Amino acid sequence: MESTLSARDRVGVQDFLLLENYTSEAAFIENLRRRYKENLIYTYIGSVLVSVNPYKELEIYSKQHMERYRGVNFYEISPHIFALADNSYRAVRTERRDQCILISGESGAGKTEASKKILQYYTTMCPTRHNTHYIRERLLQSNPVLEAFGNAKTLRNDNSSRFGKYMDVQFDYKGAPIGGHIINYLLEKSRVVHQNHGERSFHIFYQLLESGDNSLLTRLGLQKTNPQHYHYLVKVCVCVNLKVYFSFVCFCERTFVMIFTLHIIYICNLLFSLSFSLSFSFSLSLSCHHYQGNCPRLLGVAGSALSEALTHKKLHILFVGEKTMISPLNLDQVLSARDALAKAIYGRTFTWLVQKINQSLAFQDEVYYTSKCSSVIGLLDIYGFEVFQQNSFEQFCINYCNEKLQQLFIELTLKSEQEEYEAEGIGWETVEYFNNKIICDLVEEKFRGIIAILDEECLRPGDASDITFLEKLEDTLGGHAHFVTHKLANGKTRKAVGREEFRLLHYAGEVNYNVTGFLDKNNDLLYRNLKEVMCQSGNQIVKQCFHPDELIDQRRPETAATQFKLSLAGLMDILILKEPSYMRCIKPNNGKQPGQFEEVLIRHQVKYLGLMENLRVRRAGFAYRRSFEAFLQRYKPLCPDTWPNWRGQLLDGVSTLVKHLNYKPEEYRLGRTKIFIRFPKTLFLTEDALEIRKKTIAITLQKCWRGYRERAKYQRIRHAVIMIQSWWRGVKGRRRARHRRQAADTIRMFIKGFILRNEPRCPGNEYFLDHVRFSYLMTIKRNLPKSVLDKAWPRPPPSLTEVETHTHTNSHRNTHTHTHTHSLEQKVVASDMFKGQKDNYPQSVPRLFVGTRLGNNEEINLKVLQTLGSDNKYGVAVTKYDRHGYRARPRQLLLTASTAVLVQESKVKQRIDYTSLLGVSVSCHSDGFFVLHLPPATSKQKGDLVLQCDHVIETVTKLAIMAEKIHNINISQDSIKFALARGKEGVIDFTPGAELRVIKTKNGHLAVMAPRISSSV
């Protein structure tokens, strides 16, 4: 933290204790302004964290920031909410003491978001047990559920918490979160039935109407209409899908629907109308039959019973025995009963919801849970001090709560200060401060407190009203210094206090409370006959919320103020047993705009948060304290005796340092482990001297570092060179020794083989014989005969006589014949035409082309030979398909130098001159079909010729070469068209299949199913 003091003129100080003019409220607010302008929203007052809502996202809550604050001393780096969370967590781990973090501030100051950030830190940075990972998610996901049912839009905040929340997070002995528990305080149930202008009811109703699916809304009898259609609602709000969050806290779908059911009962618009009879008597009835049917169904009660309970009151009259009378209610009473029912249902089911969440957060291992190895950290997110134009019963309870928290805060702060002074052996000086116990007693004192008087007025028979309550206050508390009414005030004050108001002088300032509605809100009663109807409900949640024991108990239920006082006393008992940490949240402006700093608004919050009082209490002693080790470590460069290292006791080192810095005795005290500095100016001068000294230190450090770096670099290089040299010498030595061993072994085997060279082959002479063979073969390779006339030939060794004869013979043999060469040339032409275009081409590659494919069984007829002469070049057996019906005819195709002849036994069926051949068409498949295209003008020709043979690649290649039609070969994909007689056209359709099949189709085409060729070919 001290590192930022050099920039204090721009960003202020990180701890208000370091303000020189700590009594000046203007200096306090100016420091807040400077830090807020630089997006530094957190500042300390000792151990108290002050936060200003930035109204925008800041990149200071990532996991990297969490790691930065993890395990770091509280004052070591800049203020942050993670530092506060980590400080409490380390206290739990190391000291095994329960902690609590108290978050306070007015609506919109960021209390709820702060509690979320603390939970996020614990669930992210704490270790995890194998069976408690789900607890982390439930701790985080419980917040959206409670916000939906307990938060609402107000004039000051779009997501204002309308209830107080205290959450205990339980940790095991390893520091892993294993459970949690939530206590809620003072839910603002009146918001269910009434909202001020510009405000809204609880979020859940708008979320249900906006994002509820049609099946759920139909089941509840609702419609996706404007919320103003419903009596209790105004304007719509942004909605979320709560089913996701309900699943994290173990609510099933049925329970989810039942919760919605109970919390929308009042949406059913229980409106009433008067119906007068001829006798001028009147009764009340439900005005809307649609809602009249839905309400009982959703509540699980009889419609007639609900109607009767809402419009009549049951009176118990005691004479000789007990007698019951039914009295009709007037319109105001009916509307009051309706509102009381809606508030009771909402308040009780909200409590039930908190209980269900607690069940989901409870750690299930009972043996482990009851052990003494766990600790807790409590988070208190509760309403701040509220001062409105019109302050009513709710503001009275909220401000009473803040008085109690301020009392606890001052007591624990002074206590911790005194304990620290005593632990360090420094005398404690009595600190004067405003003790607000007198205000707490004014509110809660037995028989004479405001709550006691309010309860008494609610319980007494007769015509009790809010005005009689105010008069009773004036009679009982008329002389109290912190209580004023219009009647008791002097002339100047009387103008500011209304006739129906009383004023309390709180620690944070004066607040006027209007007594209108105090009695009704404090009673918060539900008619007995309404309770009876609710207790008979068939809805499971209603049964749990309205217990039959309430009907048996004849005692009057406690009033709202008494309940709140008792719950607040329980909260104080919880907090007093824990070591507290404090966070004070401030709202910078009412417009919720980033960057706006309204000084009047902030001055008001600084006052009622008691920040100046806290600062004054903390500064009554010493403004700055640090351990000897931290102080000496930071400022030791300022003294030659302590720089660069102090070897003696820490106390002696600090004494030497402050003596060198010329500290005056009244400016500091040395405790047992810490130094206490009274004035911030002393620390500022020390920090400024360190800032000047840093230049010299930097030069010295650079010089030393460069020298160390170069020496270390030289040593590394020298060590590396020596290592490389020794390694390389070793490699060379091992390589030389290996070569010598190999050479010795080779010479030994060679000599032994030479001795045994005339013996049969054996392990002893095989190396020598192999060497002789290799030398002979290499001699032949280098001295092959240049021509057949060269008779020179090396003399072979005895073991290679046979090989020498075979080699000598092969060396004089012609490598290729003319026929072989001609066949290869044809193969090249076939490759150019068919490679990659016909499926059966790869099968033809390994087979050489031959002069003829007509063997002994298929000789050419002698008559045909006489007709053709000796001009026949190639012959192959083919199948000709007729032009009429495509009948297969066996034929022979003979290729001569100028014509292609089609032969049937001894008859020449057709001659095709190469010059008249237009082209040849084949398919891309593995069939043997090919079509010879002929010109139609020739009278002897009767259309194109359709042939099929087993050697189609060879046949077409030879035909193309002889006819010089290499470039007239057409390879078709799926079909070949050919000419028939008299200008007609035929088509051959090719399809792949398992085997070769040739059929005539109904459309007159010739269908050929070509067999597939295996990919391995």
Q: Give me the catalytic one of 46, 78, 104, 108.
A: 108
Q: Are 516 and 455 in contact (CB under 8 A)?
A: no
Q: Give me the catalytic one of 43, 112, 514, 523.
A: 112
Distance CA 42, CA 505 (A): 30
Return the residue matching tokens 């779009």. 158
384 counts as catalytic: yes
Task: Compute how many other C-beta atoms are within 10 angstroms of the C-beta atom of residue 179.
Answer: 23
Helices and strands (H and E) in the chain: how many = 35, 31
* 928 marked as binding residue: no
Q: Give me the catalytic one of 147, 386, 403, 501.
A: 386
386 counts as catalytic: yes
Under DSSP, the state recorded for 308 is H
107 counts as catalytic: yes
* 543 marked as binding residue: no
627 counts as catalytic: no
Q: Which of 591, 582, 594 is nearest to 53 (CA)?
A: 594
Dihedral, 396, 397, 398, 401 alpha carbons, nearest 10: 120
Beta strands in 449-578 (DSSP E): 483-485, 501-506, 509-514
Q: Which of 407-427 are b and which e, b meaning 16 or more Cβ less than 10 Å from the residue's Cβ? A: bbbbebbbeebeebbeebebe
* 111 marked as binding residue: yes
Return the residue matching tokens 């994290």. 248
Phi, psi of 734 (to 5 degrees): -65, -40
Q: Give me the catalytic one of 384, 621, 753, 986.
A: 384
Distance CA 985, CA 105 (A): 97
Q: Give me the catalytic one of 31, 51, 107, 485.
A: 107
Q: Give me the catalytic one of 157, 402, 844, 872.
A: 157
645 counts as catalytic: no
Distance CA 57, CA 61 (A): 9
Helix (H, G, I), strand (E, B) or coil at 124: helix
Q: Which of 236, 190, 248 is nearest to 209 (CA)?
A: 236
875 counts as catalytic: no
* 107 marked as binding residue: yes
71 counts as catalytic: no
Helix residue ranges per DSSP H, 264-330: 289-299, 303-311
CA 1009 to chain CA centroid, Å, is 60
Beta strands in 301-433 (DSSP E): 312-318, 322-328, 375-381
Q: Are 918 and 927 in contact (CB under 8 A)?
A: no
Q: Give me the catalytic one of 104, 143, 161, 529.
A: 161
Beta strands in 882-944 (DSSP E): 888-896, 899-904, 907-913, 919-923, 929-933
Residue type, 122: Y
Helix (H, G, I), strand (E, B) or coil at 384: coil
Tokens at 958, concatenated: 């030879």
* 110 marked as binding residue: yes
Give, in order, the Cα–Cα distances in Å from 70 to each of 86, 179, 484, 501.
6, 22, 51, 51
Q: Are 577 and 554 in contact (CB under 8 A)?
A: no
Under DSSP, the state recorded for 24 is -
Cis peptide before 144 (omega within 30 of 0): no
157 counts as catalytic: yes
- Cα-Cα-Cα-Cα dihedral sign, residues 743, 744, 745, 750: positive
Give me the active site residues, please: 107-108, 112, 157, 160-161, 384, 386
Residues tagged in the binding site annotation: 105-112
Residues tagged in the binding site annotation for ATP: 105-112
